[in-house]
Structure 1
């Protein structure tokens, strides 16, 4: 009797275990079915979105930091040249505003001045000789003209004389003809001497110009409009020539940030892109501006090599104009330039997820009159960005869909509702 009771209890446990397994399997099947149906429904749910909505918050260009230095609009550095002589004093002082062509300082060199004066004296002497030759030539041509007039009168008298008078007049006429020929030769010789004297004057003047060019103009003038930033007065008392600039002139009516951008970030920097400039020393001062220049040729300079992550990268010079400010940064100050994204109302941008790339071409699914069409577009992927620029193929008022495997050409959106 005890064995039968034990067997009944064992059978009852087995039945309960089987029922539990069946129930668990049933619930699992329902969960998977419902879940897969939800995923399928989510996949097939099509939500058209206007391109303008996707593009309105995008901006062209990327946001990143560049190092740079504050530079003036223009700058001119003048170095002393010992071969031109000494500078005893300057005609301007630090802080003065100067204009282009204004005298700044003069060289004094007795040796150079003597050589120039000697050459100039030769020019003056040759010029006097030329003047004498010209006077002699003029005199001889006038005498030739007089002799020619005398010959003409003698010839006329001879022609009008009787046969008896002609014998005596012929001797006078022939003598005057010889005088005319002689005076002509003398005048022509004098004219040649004038030409030779003129060549000597020109040669002497060339020598003067060559000497002046060798020594240069003793008066140095400003090449730009600007302000005298620095005058190294110590160089006036130094006999040897310095490698440092003696005088520096700057036009700081506008200030710029100048620096280098590497090859990976060059295409992300755009002309007219707004920028923020901050002091690298940690000051809270912030200036604004815009990019005005990006060189297309890499620079060979090794600027900022210590700060480069990879010194082997090609570097391209850039320049950014600072907006006017009441508190200008100091020249040559080291700053960081923060490149802000550029507003571009004409450019359209869409997320990369909306693009389909096939055989090197880009497509988007466009909705028109509730029908789906796979449309080719021109697309430019922006480096390190999740958006692509669309130059052509789409308009802001068109609606597009996220790509799905179930999409087909000409399919109606209502088929997926």
Structure 2
């Protein structure tokens, strides 16, 4: 008899536990504990991000110019500071020197010839005058042909002299060009051996001079992005090399023409060059060629925002859960711009409503909720 009683009690306990578990599950499925917060108004920026390369705005590259002759001397070395107009390189050209000497001789010869013709003309005029006094005007006229010829020779000699003087000016300029000066003020970044074979010199520059006082970042933009970006817009520059650092800059120029596409390039992927100027280049302790990230601000406005974790997607529909009278109410919303952690809500909620953050997977419309 006692055994039957214990069996009955065990059966009743099992039934109670099962019923209790079912009741708990039913209650758990109809309620949830959630975290909620209100939407806030903040300044939000629309940005375009693109990679870029750090470069110098002022850079001068000098290659050997065979037309000038052979390199005589490179006057600077890597690391030297130079100013605009400083001599950095000289050439020597023996053919040019010989041409100049011949020109000098030609000019001197023409001056002597013109001087001789002047004296000859003077003598003929005197002889003509004497004949006119002694014999008469008719006899003096016989001298005209000889006098005209001297005048013509003198005129031709003067034309030859003018041409020689012009050639002298050109030669002086060519000789002056044998001394090459720097186009910019900066630092010598590269200085190569001028005695290397000429084929190598044509490939490698003799000198490369750059200024670290005016740094830029060169990047590219898509067709769509070029419509929203213009000179003067604010830019934040970062790099993976120094992830905790950022620098202020502004858009300097957006290319009007796209970059040239290679033979293997996708013709639909047209890219336009963009140049960004750093506001305080002295604070950037990096070298030209470093890879940078450009975040270009295209628009700034005040917006109502929520954390990304609050916004749910159902196809193309965006929605959130609002806490109303202890229940989670599904609310369709419209979104706009976004930042790294928050998204703009343009329609659907107000600043007074509590929005559920990170809603649990089992959360349903009109489910009872408890806010932490």
What TM-score do the two structures reach when normalised by structure 1? Answer: 0.54
Equivalent position of 2:61 in the other structure: 77
Find out whether 1:195 has 2:155 as its counterpart.
Answer: yes
Aligned position for 1:122: 102
Give the direction of change, closer, same or farther, for the CA distance of 1:188–1:224 in structure 2 (3 Å limit): farther
Quote the Cα distance in structure 2 between the aligned partners of 1:73 and 1:349.
Answer: 37
Report Cα offsets for 1:200-234 as digits up to 9, x if no partner.
4455567778889999932222122322221123x
Q: Is the 8 A contact 1:126 1:197 kept in 2?
A: no
Structure 1 189/292 Cα, relative in aligned 2: closer, same or farther at 3 Å? same
Q: Does 1:91 align with 2:75?
A: yes
Structure 2 residue 307 is the aligned partner of structure 1 residue 323: no
Tell me which residue corresponds to 1:133: 113
Instruction: Tell me the residue number matched to 2:211.
Output: 251
Cα offset for 1:274?
Answer: 1.4
How far the C-alpha of 1:311 sits from its partner, in A, is: 6.9
1:150 is displaced (CA, Å) by: 3.9
Tell me, in whole angstroms, the C-alpha distance in 2 between the residues paired with 1:276 and 1:98.
32
Which of 278, 281, 305 is the aligned partner of 2:238? 278
- How many residues were matched structurally? 268
Corresponding residue of 1:338: 295
Q: 1:82 to 1:133 in 2, by over 3 A?
A: closer
1:32-181 correspondence to structure 2 within 5 Å: 57=43, 62-82=46-66, 84-108=68-92, 112-113=93-94, 115-147=95-127, 149-150=129-130, 154=133, 172-174=134-136, 177-178=138-139, 180-181=140-141
Q: Tell me how far apart the structure 1 counterparts of residues 248 and 57 of structure 2 sit (CA, whole Å).
A: 16
Structure 1 residue 82 displacement after superposition: 4.2
Partner of 1:354: none
> Unaligned regions of 5+ residues in structure 2, if any?
1-40, 305-334, 339-346, 349-372
Conservation of the 8 A alpha-carbon contact between 2:118 and 2:154: no
Paired residues of 1:97 and 1:226 also in contact (CA < 8 A): yes
Which structure has greater strand proportion? 2
* Inter-CA distance 121–190: structure 2 relative to 1 (3 Å threshold): farther
Deviations 1:350-369, CA, capped at 9 Å, x for gaps: 9xxxxxxxxxxxxxxxxxxx
CA distance in 2, matches of 1:272, 1:323: 12
Aligned-residue RMSD, C-alpha: 3.9
Distance 1:283 1:188 in 2: 89
Q: CA deviation at 1:116?
A: 2.5
SS where residue 283 of structure 2 aligns? Answer: coil
Q: Is the 8 A contact 1:119 1:207 kept in 2?
A: no
The worse-fitting range, judged by mean Cα deviation, of 290-299 and 280-289 is 280-289
CA distance in 2, matches of 1:99, 1:93: 14
| 3-state DSSP of counterpart to 1:285 | strand
Task: Tell me the CA shift for residue 65 of structure 1.
Answer: 1.6
Whether the 8 Å CA contact 2:61–2:209 is kept in 1: the answer is yes
Q: Distance in 2 between matches of 1:93 and 1:145?
A: 67
Contact 1:66 1:261 in 2 (8 A): yes
SS of the residue aligned with 1:265?
A: helix
Displacement of 1:341 in angstroms is 4.3
- Kept in 1, the 8 Å contact 2:258–2:272? The answer is yes
User: What's the counterpart of residue 179 of structure 2?
Assistant: 219
Indicate if the aligned counterparts of 1:278 and 1:286 stay in contact, CA closer than 8 A. yes
| Higher relative contact order, chain-length normalized (CA < 8 Å, sep 6+) | 2
Contact 1:260 1:317 survives alignment (8 Å): yes
* Structure whose CA Rg is larger: 1
Q: Deviations over 1:235-293 (max 9, x none)?
A: 43435334122211112322111111011222232332211111134543221111121
| Change over 3 Å in CA distance of 1:135–1:212 after alignment to 2 | closer
TM-score w.r.t. the length of structure 2 is 0.60
Is the Cα contact below 8 Å between 1:298 and 1:314 reproduced in 2?
yes
Report the equivalent of 1:314: 270
